[in-house]
Structure 1
């Protein structure tokens, strides 16, 4: 069981960290022209639902990954809405 949790956390870290460069670049440059508003919105909604699911089933890797990813994606979405 511990091996499965570790696998989940490794997957969570890898899929979450991939959004960090985009969020940092967007914050630094405020350039959001190449980002799709629809894609960011749908992705944020999906990640939010995964977070709720993780909370409901009590799965720590899902909660961790989607909490961090949700913050990053919403931050990017907010920048997209503000700077277009």
Structure 2
């Protein structure tokens, strides 16, 4: 693995897993009232487009980061709807 791919994977790991504390907090408190529904919709749409872009480029850091981020944020969106 070259330096740039490694750098991308580290950046992807940090930004992707930054959503985990929010996901866990919503899960534990059963409340997502402070999370904007509109923001989640726009963010998930953007992440989906980044994922498609990464697939097109066959760029592993982009694919992994955005695939996992989309997964986490879709769970947050489902919890936002569930705990409304």
TM-score (norm 2): 0.95
Deviation of the 1:39 alpha carbon: 0.3
Residue equivalent to 2:65: 65
TM-score (norm 1): 0.95
Deviation of the 1:48 alpha carbon: 0.8
Aligned mates of 1:44, 1:29 — CA distance in 2: 22
RMSD: 1.0
Unmatched runs of 5 consecutive residues or more in structure 1: none
SS where residue 33 of structure 1 aligns? coil
Unmatched runs of 5 consecutive residues or more in structure 2: none
Moved >3 Å (runs of 4+): none
